[in-house]
Structure 1
């Protein structure tokens, strides 16, 4: 089984990180026909995702995201493509979240 591990640090805080994780879950549900579930915790959340040939989880904390996925035999051949797509989606959401946080700070300062 092929495995994908992605770690991203951020400075968004848990509330905004949750929003991004839920947006990511909605995207992968729609785009890749994943089934996602969210387990909320006090200091972190876990987003589990699954579909035929893929099973994984995204740990959402106040200062980082950790994604771990296992790919079945057929999808393992496409590991690089799948990993790149996940990174692109997650990085895009993180960039938008960071930009929104910066804009909110600037607005608050004025």
Structure 2
């Protein structure tokens, strides 16, 4: 099974990064019918996600996001597209939050 690994560095701090991660989780729950759960920690959170053919997690810290996903056989053919879409979603969400932080 192919793996998807994405890392995005940021300067938001944990509280704002947490909000970005939760919005992302809500988005994938609605758009892709994912089941998501969040485990909060002192220095990082973990968002677990799964649906038929996909399972993984997103580690959220004050400095970066790290996404690891395993794709089943049927989804493996779309690995490149899935990785690009998740990366774009994170980039867009981070850009919006960093723009807000600069204005404040």
Shorter-chain TM-score above 0.5: yes
> How much has 1:58 moved relative to structure 2?
0.2
Aligned partner of 1:107 in structure 2 is: none
> How much has 1:64 moved relative to structure 2?
0.4
The CA deviation string for residues 24-78 of structure 1, in whole angstroms up to 9 with x for no partner, is: 0011111111000000000000000000000000000000000000000000010
Aligned partner of 2:19 in structure 1 is: 19
Aligned partner of 1:62 in structure 2 is: 62
> How much has 1:5 moved relative to structure 2?
0.1
Give unmatched runs, 5+ long, in structure 2: none
3-state SS in 2 of match to 1:15: helix
Aligned partner of 2:6 in structure 1 is: 6
Q: Does 1:45 align with 2:45?
A: yes
> How much has 1:23 moved relative to structure 2?
0.4
Q: Whole-Å Cα distance in 2 between the matches of residues 11 and 88 of structure 1?
A: 18
**What count of residue pairs does the alignment treat as equivalent?**
104
TM-score (norm 2): 0.99
Q: Does 1:100 align with 2:100?
A: yes
Q: Whole-Å Cα distance in 2 between the matches of residues 92 and 79 of structure 1?
A: 20
Give unmatched runs, 5+ long, in structure 1: 105-110
Aligned partner of 2:77 in structure 1 is: 77
3-state SS in 1 of match to 2:98: helix
